[in-house]
Every structure is written in structure tokens, then in C-alpha cells.
């Protein structure tokens, strides 16, 4: 092993489900005999009708088809709730920590059962049926989990839209999956500030009309309710019974749709199904976080992202875990909030994103060291590469050197974690996601798709299916095939670059396509560009990512104005406001450069490679610019660059 390796601590190894030897044996079996391996591990769920067939998958470009446990039937909410009643009815299922540090709530499995049944009956009462799509646009309140599980209970397919998205983005997602019912709240509350969720819904449904809007009361502020369409959740819940039998679902029935950004076009509706997804989410949750009965587990993500789906709600609850759900932000009321919450609820396992770690690292160690954190045993990271400096701070200051860090690499499309350390089995290297989880076969290819062996660097592909894999793009299977299986025929292409070292450890280097990762949130450059050119004063726009100290990547926009428009600072502000209202605050450009011309090839293709280099402030290595139609535009771009690192 190379330098800077952190061996597995003896106490961690002693209690872990999986040690090094077990990892090696189980991994070997998982790839040599996937049917046998997953056939056995699929039994971690309660099936109504057991499956007889396990893996039936094809990565053949002409016939991409992914099915797992295809003849089995089950219900996800029964697996996440009902089956725990007998053994852990009085155990906390969800600990909810409000935005206000003086408010929290503990929901036992018994209470969760009651709430989910009620919510399911409210949905029924509004006419929602099996197979219908339900849009959820909620803040981080327990009702978000109840709503998800209620959909699963009656076989409706949820599509959660992150509360930070604008009315336009919400409308587009409602329209794309033809959803007829929205669950929202009067307002959200984050860092003491109110988020006008219902008002946003009102704007969205002007463009994408729906039959029903169910409104959860959170802040109690004045909102408008439309008769015949909008109902208060608490009014409806008062009227319905708390018994709703879970519907028998096929393993391959869709569980949810989640929209995510890609390199082209509008966001794609990633479809996850019932059986394979839950097997994979629950199994990874147990082994990656080495979850043991009684542990308190906290994932700081929002349920609007896949991390919230798999590792706040479905994985932990399927395992009968205690999962903490946090409404607020890391820096409110102060930058010690995360660690105060860890002490308040005796959190053992803590899972967050590098962007939060970097922000808190910048706020000063005293906010951490004034807390105890003695309950913490394991730390996790997700969403973007974690730089070794942030890793080391997380390890030394937050974890006092005693908590391993699981740097988990995965994607919305993968449903669960694919490359990760297992705390009892994997020596750590800061910045490396280390090794594949069971059943996952990563490989590195060059631009032509040739497999590269040994220590190498290239593009990350996965050579065969695992149960948590997405099945299709909602309503557009061809787009699924073209996006993930056309670049390298017969392989799943992740869109990520990757290095493998001499020990076989994987180091994710970031996206190699036109997706940027801002604070762990995926943003397609094409989406930001189309928002910019929708502004009447903009004639053309090109957007790239550039290194950002806190966010990982920032958004850098080159904008060409319409003839006669003045390139002023106030216009820059106007464009930022415009993008926020078109997509949402997470898409706000950090830097805007007015560019009289963009570097294009003679055939009119924008040379993004050049724009990326200039945005990175490393323009002395621009490479070949001789194919440009007008090489002089590059000099102007360099002279007026906005990032002088
Ligand atoms: C990036 C989030 C490095 C990667 C679960 C991936 C990471 C994209 C890591 C997916 C990690 C996620 N190390 N990069 N540990 N985790 N990524 O769909 O570029 O929001 O392709 O899923 O985030 O983002 P998504």
C-alpha cells in the first residue's frame, strides 16, 4: 500500500458486519454467481410472492433491458414500516430536528405506521390510484417521508421536486410525468427564512394544471387555497381511517421517478422500481454504514435528491433503523449546528457532503471542538470528490481521528452506493472512494472504449447490472439507451472520469460531460444556457464549471448580448435573478463574462474546452486553437476573464 493509508481501527473491525476477508469472499461470489448471491440477499426483504428468477439484464445496445426479481411481489411501505411493528414498534423510526434548535419530534415505528396509513387514505380520497404519478414538493418535515411511503403503500409513483426549484422547473417536472396531484406545504423553513412553497405551486399549476393540491401546514402563514382543487392535509386526515392495506406490487413496478440533469436537453425522469431498488438501498445502508440495531443514523441530505430517497427514507427504514431528518441548514443558528444535533440526539453515524464540510471547516474549529461528539462512530461523504484537505479536517477535527470516513460514490441513476469503503474491511486513503460494493464491476476505458488495466486513468464504466440500477427514463426508453449505453456499446457509462491506483483503489476525478457539480447538486450546462438565452437581451450563452473553494464547482457563464445592449453590472445582476427564477437559486451563475464572440469551430460548434480553461484561469495551455473560425475572440475572452485565481 502507498503512503497516507488509514488502517481499519481494531474496535471498528471487531464490531463490523464485514471484515476484509468477508469482503473479498462476498465480492468474488457476487460477481461470479450474481444469481446465487442476490437470490440469497434478496431475502432481506419480506416478499408477498417470492421470486423464482433473480437477474435478467441485458446491456446489449440494441436491447437494453434490466429486470431483477421479476416474478416476485412485495410492498415497499410494508417492508419499511409494518414488518417492524412486532419487534420495534416503540423504537424511534424518525427523529425530526426542526430548523429551530428548540424543536424536535420523535416518531416511533408504531406512529409511523399510523401516519403512513392515514396519508395513504388521504391520497385515495383524492382519487389517486396505483400507477398514478404524485408530485411531492415539500420541505424536510416528517410528512415528506409519510407521503413517500403512502405513495408506495397504494402503488402510486412519487416524483419529488426539491423545494429550491422554481415554479417553472416544478411545472416542467409535473408536465413531464403527467402528474395530477401535488403534495406541498404552506411554506418551508430553512435557516429562519420562509420558502413560499404553496405560492410556487400556484404559479407552476398555471402552466401545468393538476386536479388536486394537498397542503401540509408548516408555518401557518397566510396562503391562498383554491376551492375544489386545494385541500389541507390535516382536514382530510381527520376524516379518514388509519387503516389502508398495502397493495401487492410487482418487483419491477416503478416506485419513483426523480428528475436529474444531464449533458443535453431537459432533466431526465430517472425511474427506479420496487424490488431491486429496495434490496440494494437497504443492503448498502446496512454494510456501508455498518448499521447495528439501536444506532442513531443521520444523513443530512434533502429528500429532494436521491441521497434523501435511498439513505434517509428507504434504506434505513427497510432496515428498521432510527433515521434522523433535519429541516434546517448547517450554519443556522450557528456553524456548530451539525455537532450540536449530534450531541442532542446521540448520533452514531453521520453522512454529509464535502461542500458542507468545506464551509464548516472555513468557519473555524472552535464550533466543532466546543461540542462533545463522543457518540460519533462513523462519518460519510457523498456528492462530489472530497479533497484531501477537507477529508483530513473531517477525520481529525470532527471525528477526532477515531471515526472512519466512508467516501461513497454513486449517482441518481445507480439507486445506491457503488464504490465505497466498508468501515470494517477497507483501509482508507483520503480522496479515494476505494473499492466496489458487492455485485458492482467498475472498469476504466479510454475515449475509444478500450479497457485500461492496472494503475490507469480514463472514463468510468460499469460492465454489468446491479439490482439498484435505474430501469429507464420515464416515457423515453430510447433516451435511456442513448444516454448511458451508446458512448461505449455494451457498457453503462457513468459520465465520470476516474483514476485507479496500484492497489486497485478508485479515485473519482469528476464529470467528463457537460454536467457541473455545484455543492453536490448536478446542473446541466445546457439548462443554464437555455435559461440565459430566454432573456430578451441575450443572444447567445455558454456555461462551464470552474473550481470553487466551497461549492466544489462554480457556474461560469459567457454571455453574448443582443446588438446594441450595454454590458453593465446591473444587467449581470438581472441575468442572475432571471436564472434563479427560471431554474432556482442552485443554478445562479457565480461569474458572468460578457463576450462579444464565443470560440467556435468553422462548423459552428462552441469549443468548450477553451472556455473551461479560461474559466479556470489556466489559459496558457489552451491547446490547438487553429480550427477556430475566428481565433481573435480568444484574446478578448482572456483579457476580460472573471476568475483571476
Ligand atoms: C458525483 C449523488 C466523487 C459524481 C449521489 C456523480 C461523486 C455525481 C461522489 C452524481 C463521490 C457523487 N466522489 N464524486 N463520493 N458522489 N459524485 O446524481 O460526479 O446527484 O456522477 O447523485 O456526483 O450526482 P447525483
pLDDT tens readout for residues 267-301: 999 999 999 999 999 999 999 999 999 999 999 99
Compute, in angstroms, the gap from residue 521 CA to the centroid of ligand 1: 9
Q: Are 144 and 119 in contact (CB under 8 A)?
A: no
DSSP type of residue 531: H
496 Cβ inside 6 Å of ligand 1 = yes
Q: Is 297 exposed, middle or buried (0-12, 13-18, 19+ CB in 10 A)?
A: buried
Q: Are 383 and 411 in contact (CB under 8 A)?
A: no
User: 1-510: which CATH topology?
Assistant: Rossmann fold (3.40.50)
Q: What percentage of the chain reaches a pLDDT higher than 90? A: 94
Query: Distance between CA 330 and CA 341 in Å, rounded?
Result: 10
Query: Distance between CA 183 and CA 216 in Å, rounded?
Result: 8
Helix H segments across 310-445?
Answer: 315-318, 337-345, 354-363, 366-369, 388-393
516 Cβ inside 6 Å of ligand 1 = no
Q: Which residue has the cell 416544478?
A: 170
Q: What percentage of the chain reaches a pLDDT higher than 70? A: 100
Task: Output the pLDDT for position 3.
Answer: 62
Bind-site residues for Mg(2+): 533, 535, 538
pLDDT tens readout for residues 167-202: 999 999 999 999 999 999 999 999 999 999 999 999
Cα-flanking dihedrals φ and ψ of residue 613, to 5°?
-60, -45
Average pLDDT for residues 470-481, to the nearest whole number? Answer: 98
pLDDT tens readout for residues 423-435: 999 999 999 999 9
pLDDT tens readout for residues 141-173: 999 999 999 999 999 999 999 999 999 999 999
In this prediction the pTM is 0.96
Q: What are the CA-CA distances from residue 456 to residues 443, 460, 502, 505 (Å)?
A: 10, 11, 8, 11
Tell me what the pLDDT averaged over the chain comes to: 96
Spans of all domains in the chain: 1-510, 519-640
| Closest ligand 1 atom number to CA of residue 408 | 15
Q: Secondary structure of 209-240 in the HEC alphabet?
A: CCCEEEEECCCCCCCCCCCCCEEEHHHHHHHC
Q: Residue with the nearest Cα to atom 22 of ligand 1?
A: 411
pLDDT tens readout for residues 223-233: 999 999 999 99
pLDDT tens readout for residues 80-115: 999 999 999 999 999 999 999 999 999 999 999 999
Helix (H, G, I), strand (E, B), or coil: what is residue 322?
Answer: strand
- Answer whether residue 2 shows pLDDT above 60: no
Cell numbers standing for residue 274: 420496487
Query: Distance between CA 116 and CA 460 in Å, rounded?
Result: 40
Mutate to test the pocket of ligand 1, among 257, 388, 410 (most ligand atoms within 8 A of CB): 410
Query: Distance between CA 3 and CA 429 in Å, rounded?
Result: 9
Angle, helix 569-582 to helix 525-533, in steps of 10 degrees: 120
Query: Distance between CA 328 and CA 374 in Å, rounded?
Result: 23
**CB-based contacts of 363, cutoff 8 Å, min separation 6:** 331, 335
Residue 179 neighbours by CB distance under 10 Å? 24
Query: Distance between CA 190 and CA 4 in Å, rounded?
Result: 39
Which value does ipTM take for this structure?
1.00
Q: Residue with the nearest Cα to atom 25 of ligand 1?
A: 411
Residue 226 neighbours by CB distance under 10 Å? 10
Query: Distance between CA 162 and CA 138 in Å, rounded?
Result: 8
Bind-site residues: 190-193, 307, 383-385, 407-412, 496, 511, 519, 522, 533, 535, 538, 580
Task: Output the pLDDT for position 98.
Answer: 98
User: From its phi and psi, is residue 530 left (phi > 0), alpha (psi between -120 and 50) or beta?
Assistant: alpha
Query: Distance between CA 243 and CA 488 in Å, rounded?
Result: 49
DSSP type of residue 42: G
- Answer whether residue 624 shows pLDDT above 90: no
Topology agreement, domain 1-510 and domain 519-640: no
| Closest ligand 1 atom number to CA of residue 419 | 15
- Answer whether residue 627 shows pLDDT above 90: no
Comparing 262-266, 452-456, 481-485, which segment has the lowest mean pLDDT?
262-266
pLDDT tens readout for residues 316-370: 999 999 999 999 999 999 999 999 999 999 999 999 999 999 999 999 999 999 9
Which residue, 140, 146, 166, 141, is CA-closest to 158? Answer: 146
- Answer whether residue 645 shows pLDDT above 80: no
**CB-based contacts of 109, cutoff 8 Å, min separation 6:** 81, 84, 85, 88, 89, 90, 91, 93, 320
385 Cβ inside 6 Å of ligand 1 = yes
309 Cβ inside 6 Å of ligand 1 = no
Sign of the Cα pseudo-torsion (576, 334, 297, 387, in order) = positive
Mutate to test the pocket of ligand 1, among 260, 411, 493, 494 (most ligand atoms within 8 A of CB): 411
**Domain 519-640, CATH class in plain words:** alpha beta
Which residue, 44, 109, 48, is CA-closest to 276? Answer: 44
Average pLDDT for residues 528-544, to the nearest whole number? Answer: 96
Mutate to test the pocket of ligand 1, among 263, 421, 515, 517 (most ligand atoms within 8 A of CB): 517
Cell numbers standing for residue 183: 403534495
Q: Residue with the nearest Cα to atom 7 of ligand 1?
A: 384
Q: Residue with the nearest Cα to atom 6 of ligand 1?
A: 411
DSSP type of residue 313: I
Which residue, 387, 421, 156, 126, is CA-closest to 287? Answer: 421
Query: Distance between CA 480 and CA 457 in Å, rounded?
Result: 26
432 Cβ inside 6 Å of ligand 1 = no
Question: If pLDDT is split at 50, 70 and 90, which confidence band does 262 have?
Answer: confident
509 Cβ inside 6 Å of ligand 1 = no
The residues with which 458 forms a beta bridge, in sequence order, are 498
- Answer whether residue 1 shows pLDDT above 60: no
299 Cβ inside 6 Å of ligand 1 = no
Q: Which residue has the cell 468474488?
A: 28
Query: Distance between CA 76 and CA 250 in Å, rounded?
Result: 11
Query: Distance between CA 81 and CA 317 in Å, rounded?
Result: 7
Query: Distance between CA 251 and CA 592 in Å, rounded?
Result: 47
495 Cβ inside 6 Å of ligand 1 = yes
**CB-based contacts of 515, cutoff 8 Å, min separation 6:** 261, 262, 263, 495, 522, 523, 524, 525
First to last CA, the chain: 35
Bind-site residues for ATP: 383-385, 407-412, 496, 511, 522
Amino acid at each position: 500500500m502507498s503512503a497516507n493509508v488509514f488502517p481499519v481501527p481494531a474496535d471498528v473491525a471487531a464490531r463490523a458486519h464485514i471484515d476484509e476477508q468477508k469482503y473479498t469472499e462476498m465480492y468474488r461470489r457476487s460477481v461470479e454467481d450474481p444469481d446465487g448471491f442476490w437470490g440469497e440477499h434478496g431475502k432481506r426483504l419480506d416478499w408477498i410472492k417470492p421470486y423464482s428468477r433473480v437477474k435478467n439484464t441485458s446491456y446489449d445496445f440494441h436491447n437494453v433491458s434490466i429486470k431483477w426479481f421479476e416474478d416476485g411481489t412485495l410492498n415497499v411501505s410494508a417492508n419499511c414500516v409494518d414488518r417492524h411493528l412486532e419487534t420495534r414498534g416503540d423504537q424511534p423510526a424518525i427523529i425530526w430536528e426542526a430548523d429551530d434548535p428548540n424543536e424536535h419530534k420523535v416518531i416511533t415505528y408504531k406512529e409511523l405506521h399510523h401516519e403512513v396509513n392515514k396519508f395513504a387514505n388521504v391520497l385515495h380520497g383524492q382519487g389517486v390510484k396505483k400507477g398514478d404519478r404524485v408530485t411531492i414538493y415539500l420541505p424536510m418535515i416528517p410528512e415528506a417521508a409519510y407521503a413517500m411511503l403512502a405513495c408506495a403503500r397504494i402503488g402510486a409513483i412519487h416524483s419529488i421536486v426539491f423545494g429550491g426549484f422554481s415554479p417553472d422547473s416544478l411545472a416542467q417536472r409535473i408536465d413531464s410525468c403527467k402528474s395530477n396531484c401535488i403534495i406541498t406545504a404552506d411554506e418551508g423553513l430553512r435557516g429562519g427564512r420562509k420558502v413560499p412553497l404553496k405560492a410556487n405551486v400556484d404559479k407552476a399549476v398555471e402552466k401545468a394544471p393538476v386536479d388536486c393540491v394537498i397542503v401540509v401546514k408548516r408555518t401557518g402563514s397566510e396562503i391562498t387555497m383554491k376551492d375544489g382543487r386545494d385541500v389541507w392535509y390535516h382536514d382530510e386526515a381527520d376524516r379518514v381511517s388509519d387503516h389502508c392495506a398495502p397493495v401487492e406490487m410487482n418487483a419491477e413496478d416503478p416506485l419513483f421517478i426523480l428528475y436529474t440533469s444531464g449533458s443535453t436537453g431537459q432533466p431526465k425522469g430517472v425511474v427506479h422500481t420496487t424490488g431491486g431498488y429496495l434490496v440494494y438501498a437497504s443492503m448498502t445502508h446496512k454494510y456501508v454504514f455498518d448499521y447495528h440495531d439501536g444506532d442513531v443514523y443521520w444523513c443530512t441530505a434533502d429528500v429532494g435528491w436521491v441521497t434523501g430517497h435511498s439513505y434517509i427514507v428507504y434504506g434505513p427504514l427497510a432496515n428498521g433503523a432510527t433515521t434522523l431528518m433535519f429541516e434546517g441548514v448547517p450554519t443556522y443558528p450557528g456553524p456548530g449546528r451539525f455537532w450540536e444535533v449530534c450531541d442532542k440526539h446521540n448520533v452514531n453515524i453521520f453522512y454529509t457532503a464535502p461542500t458542507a464540510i468545506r464551509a464548516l471547516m472555513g468557519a473555524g474549529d472552535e464550533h466543532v471542538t466546543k461540542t462533545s461528539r463522543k457518540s460519533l462512530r462513523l462519518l460519510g461523504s457523498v456528492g462530489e470528490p472530497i479533497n484531501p484537505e477537507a477529508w483530513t479536517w473531517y477525520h481529525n477535527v470532527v471525528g477526532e481521528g477515531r471515526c472512519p470516513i466512508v467516501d461513497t460514490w454513486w449517482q441518481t441513476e445507480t439507486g445506491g452506493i457503488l464504490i465505497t469503503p466498508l468501515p470494517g474491511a477497507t483501509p482508507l486513503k483520503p480522496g479515494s472512494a476505494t473499492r466496489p460494493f458487492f455485485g458492482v464491476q467498475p472498469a476504466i476505458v479510454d475515449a475509444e472504449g478500450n479497457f485500461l488495466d492496472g494503475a490507469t486513468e480514463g472514463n468510468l464504466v460499469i460492465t454489468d447490472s446491479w439490482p439498484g440500477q435505474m430501469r429507464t427514463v420515464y416515457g423515453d426508453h430510447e433516451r435511456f439507451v442513448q444516454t448511458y449505453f451508446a458512448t461505449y456499446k455494451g457498457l453503462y457509462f457513468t459520465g465520470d472520469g476516474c483514476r485507479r491506483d496500484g492497489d486497485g483503489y478508485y479515485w473519482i476525478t469528476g464529470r467528463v460531460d457537460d454536467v457541473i457539480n455545484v455543492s453536490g447538486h448536478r446542473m446541466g450546462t445546457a439548462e443554464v444556457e437555455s435559461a440565459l438565452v430566454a432573456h430578451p437581451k441575450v443572444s447567445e450563452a455558454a456555461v462551464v464549471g470552474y473550481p470553487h473553494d466551497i461549492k466544489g464547482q462554480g457556474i461560469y457563464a459567457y454571455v453574448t448580448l443582443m446588438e446594441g445592449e450595454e454590458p453593465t453590472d446591473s444587467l449581470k445582476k438581472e441575468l442572475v435573478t432571471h436564472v434563479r427564477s427560471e431554474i432556482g437559486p442552485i443554478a445562479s451563475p457565480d461569474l458572468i463574462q460578457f463576450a462579444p464572440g464565443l470560440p467556435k469551430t468553422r462548423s459552428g460548434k462552441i469549443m468548450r474546452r477553451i472556455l473551461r480553461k479560461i474559466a479556470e484561469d489556466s489559459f496558457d495551455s489552451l491547446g490547438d486553437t487553429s480550427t477556430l473560425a475566428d481565433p481573435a475572440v480568444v484574446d478578448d475572452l482572456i483579457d476580460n476573464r472573471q476568475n483571476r485565481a
